[in-house]
Structure 1
Amino acid sequence: MNRTKLGVLAFVAMAACAPFVSHAEKTVPLVVPDEASIPTGPIGDAVRRGKQLLTDTHKQLPKNVGNGLNCTNCHLSGGTTAYASPWVGLSGAFPEYRSRSGKLISLQERVNDCFQRSMNGKPLAFDSAEMNAIMAYMKWLSTGVPVGTNVTGRGFEKIDTALVPNREHGKAVYAAQCASCHGADGQGMKNPQGGYVFPPVWGKDSFNIGAGMARMYTAAAFVKHNMPLGQGGTLSAQDALDVSAYFTAQPRPDYAARANDWPKGDKPKDAR
């Protein structure tokens, strides 16, 4: 038997014996590693570069970002905040099945999904220095998290999808709770460097129609736990849904490839 066949058989045998822990079976606490634990040398340099790319994305990757956002506008505090889609533990969670894609995808594919949708831009090459730096940062954030487990607070807080939105009330909630940071017309608040202190939530510089945040219930889950900034949890679930129904319906860039989403036919009711 040749080496190739032996290698395949060995892989199959290991796969059959290896324990698989589904996300539903085990959850571990979200623990952010101390920055003092970032190693020296090329790996440490990559970790720091990855964090820079994800926190200053609009400036650092102008060819890949088509709007005014940074990744950390949604993945708060460098991707370390529970229920703000943290990156802690992701290295051991992928490959993962995504119903929107209808297939198993890699972490690199998931990152590029955000570049194309949330950033309304272009994907990074899988073997690029930038993608490797992002992977290094996420791997470092995942230090100590067992492969195949979820951390507490992964993704967004769940919200009752049976709630019925009231867009007019949402407009009033936006004016009272959101406009002071995100602007009366959703345009955000710019800084002197040309970026944003607070990101736009609609218009040409915001996420496109194919982004998860353009979905009403997804946006409501984020808003409920995290907004207004520093006052997360002060809005009721109904208020969060109403304001999300208002701002997700506003004009934003299109995303033609969304026509291929949910190929298995399980499209959520709030998908655009």
Structure 2
Amino acid sequence: MNNRIIMTFLALAVFAVGLSGCSKPEPVERNATQFDLILTDDANQDIATYVLPQDTAILEEPNADQIFYGKRLLNETKRLLPDHVGAAMNCNSCHIAQGKIPLGDPYINSFTTYPRVMPRSNTLVDLEGRINGCFQRSMNGKPLDRESAEMAAMIAYMKWLSQKTPANSKVNISNAGKVDTSLIPDSIRGQVIYHAQCATCHGDNGEGIKDSRGDIVFPPLWGDESFNIGAGMARTYKAAAFVKYNMPMGIQTQGLWGHGNVLSDQDAVDVSEYFTHMPRPDFPAIVNDWPKGNMPKDAR
């Protein structure tokens, strides 16, 4: 029986998640300083706790240098891997707070989720392949050597973030929120919302913001330096789910990011329809997507 992992975030906020549909057992006394992860074979029990690790804990790992390098690569992808990133994007432009928070495309389950069959390609994809897919689509760039030190470092960071979650198990955390996909997008209204809510960070013309050294502060949402049409973020409803729960920044007073829950579903769909359909790089290999059909209605 696969174990399910229940997470508790002990950073700036605590998210306690119970097992749905199961009666709550009597609390078990545990030595929190001794155990980071507690498991049992009985899925009907309170089987485990995931503790979001502090980055300083990386120092305790035997491959600390490799994990720190992976962390840097995910934060500074464009600067450190310019030959592989065509867009003005970093991996963590979309994986919020270094891939650590719910609904912000976290990396927490990445190491244990792959390999798996991806509907878009209808093929079995391992974690190296998934990362390279992002380099080619979201980064509008070139894949890494699967055996490279850079690939190994990024995977080492994701493995560390999984905190020894057993194979075929997952931390109970959602990668993305949901929006009403029956809503009809209105790009004209979306343009108004963009300039009211998004342009401060992403620019009046979607160009993003760079610092004085030319490093990315906020990524471009369209144009030659943005993600290409093969990226998931180029799809209206997929982008809307990200926007609704993660943008605009700095609005809330709780959580790691201060993110999301400002726009309604309709707002998010409208603004996403606007910026996703602005000019951006092509991705010729998109013709091979969804070979078995079942193409989402917002697929480019």
| TM-score by shorter chain over 0.5 | yes
Which residue matches 1:121?
141
Structure 1 contact 32–88 (Cα < 8 Å) conserved: no
Q: Is the 8 A contact 2:190 2:267 kept in 1?
A: yes
Residue number in structure 2 paired with 1:33: 53
Q: Is the 8 A contact 1:209 1:255 kept in 2?
A: yes
TM-score by length of 2: 0.80
Distance (Å, rounded) in 2 between the aligned partners of 1:182 and 1:241: 17
Structure 2 residue corresponding to 1:243, chosen from 271, 276, 299: 271
Q: Which is helix-richer, 1 or 2?
A: 1
Q: CA deviation at 1:50?
A: 0.2
| Structure 1 counterpart of 2:245, one-letter code | H
Q: Secondary structure at the match of 1:38?
A: helix
SS in 2 for 1:72: helix
Q: Which residue of 2 aligns with 1:104?
A: 124
> Where in structure 2 are the equivalents of 1:146-185 lying within 5 Å?
146-185=166-205
- The secondary structure found in structure 1 opposite 2:63 is helix
State, as a whole percentage, how many aligned pairs show the same letter.
Answer: 50
Q: Does 1:196 align with 2:216?
A: yes
Between the aligned partners of 1:241 and 1:153, the Cα distance in structure 2 is 23
| Residue in structure 2 matched with residue 8 of structure 1 by the alignment | none
Instruction: Note the C-alpha offset of 1:145.
Output: 2.5
Q: Deviations over 1:150-199 (max 9, x none)?
A: 33443211111111111111010001000111011100111111122111
Aligned residue number for residue 239 of structure 2 = 219
Structure 1 residue 80 corresponds to structure 2 residue 100: yes
Alpha-carbon offset, residue 93 of structure 1: 1.1
> Paired residue for 1:136, among 156, 169, 181?
156
The residue identity in structure 2 corresponding to 1:256 is: P
**Is 1:65 matched up with 2:85?**
yes
Matched-pair contact (CA < 8 Å) for 2:5–2:165: no
Q: Aligned residue for 2:295?
A: 267
C-alpha displacement of 1:41 = 7.0
Following the alignment from structure 1 to structure 2, what is the Cα–Cα distance between the partners of residues 149 and 223?
28
Say if 1:160 and 1:151 are closer, same or farther in 2 by CA, change over 3 A: farther
**Partner amino acid for 1:261?**
D
1:149 CA drift (Å)? 2.9
Q: What residue is the counterpart of 2:256 in the other structure?
A: none
Q: Is the 8 A contact 1:28 1:149 kept in 2?
A: no
TM-fit CA distance, 1:29: 2.1
Deviations along 1:121-162, one digit per CA (max 9) or x if unpaired, are: 000111100000011000000014232233344321111111
Whether the aligned pair in 2 keeps the contact of 1:170 and 1:239 (CA below 8 Å) is yes
Q: Is the contact made by 1:87 and 1:141 (CA closer than 8 Å) also made in structure 2?
A: yes
- Cα displacement (A) at 1:58: 0.4
TM-score (norm 1): 0.88
Q: How many residues align?
A: 250
Q: CA shift at 1:40, angstroms? A: 5.1
**1-side partners of 2:213 and 2:119: how far apart?**
39
SS at 2:142 equivalent: coil
Residues 26-62 of structure 1, C-alpha deviations (whole Å, 9 max, x = no match): 4632642122322557611110000000000000000
SS of corresponding position for 1:135: helix
